[in-house]
Structure 1
């Protein structure tokens, strides 16, 4: 009987710790207006890196460390990927970034999802939205969003890892202006 009592106490403490991690993630994420970070992105084995700025809701500017001067910009409605030799224009709502850049939606999703413990360091939330599987990863100690993984309708796997994270910096609003086609 004593063992059962201790098991019940242990499980309730673990459950409370998990709940408090989730609550802390939600609180910290709620307080973010913008975030800048370095990233490493792996799309089907092709690795690229650079830095990004996200301003909620639904704005992102990423500059890749590539010779082709690749830039990705979303202004809340559209997404442009531009290089020296190419220009791609997409409605933002047709991409997984539409969901990832929607902080209010993510907060609602996270609060209603069960978290997955990913060892000592990470918490994961997984869901499907518009035929895209989305995994969000948060640091257990800092409660920061540290990455995401998406699988789109074409089964392309994209993993993005964030580092050197800075929150609520003063931003120049013009960086989210869509670049024009050459």
Structure 2
């Protein structure tokens, strides 16, 4: 009898161990352990492509520097989003609330949504989660091998398709919180 219980517990624990967890559970676990990430990006809106690098600090903070002539930056302190060209004094200030970035930058919200969504596996290489939330449709992609976030797809305020690919992802690096301070005039 005891031998039967031990065998049952052994197989039960193997079935529920993280090694046998499905990709969705692995991605959720990885996301739970992520406090920040830095990466290079390539963003395409219509036929225009921009490149740069970003740092995300959960919850809801981001700093991106674009590799373009105007040296555009985008920064969110968790409440507001600023887009500014470093060569100009003026900048655009937006509330983060009501933007797709509000969702993408909210790790806890993503985790809750992912728990209730059946992900789609693409070519056994990527896993995507399609979120229909807060008036936005956002498709978020993860690499199946590394479990890294590799991009997202959404629409901008003009209903243009926005595709963001990310690479060279680094997780839980030491970052300077001053990066998320909104610029002054």
Deviation for aligned residue 1:112:
0.7
Structure 1, unaligned runs of 5 or more: 1-16
Whether the 8 Å contact between 1:131 and 1:153 is mirrored in structure 2 is: no
Query: Structure 1 residues 169 and 127, CA, compared in 2 at 3 Å: closer, same or farther?
Result: same
Aligned residues: 165
1:58 to 42, 57, 60: 60
Partner of 1:69: 71
Matches of 1:152 and 1:133 in 2, distance apart?
Answer: 11
Partner of 1:146: 150
* Cα shift readout 1:119-160 (whole Å, capped 9, x = no counterpart): 121111002222211000010111111100012453221111
Structure 2, unaligned runs of 5 or more: 1-18
Partner of 1:162: 166
Backbone CA RMSD of aligned residues: 1.6
Matches of 1:69 and 1:18 in 2, distance apart?
Answer: 46
TM-score (norm 2): 0.85
Partner of 2:11: none
Deviation for aligned residue 1:20:
1.1
Structure (1 or 2) with the larger CA radius of gyration: 2
Partner of 2:128: 124
Partner of 1:91: 95
SS of 2:28 mapped into structure 1: helix
Matches of 2:35 and 2:141 in 1, distance apart?
Answer: 19
Query: Structure 1 residues 18 and 67, CA, compared in 2 at 3 Å: closer, same or farther?
Result: farther
Matches of 1:180 and 1:145 in 2, distance apart?
Answer: 31
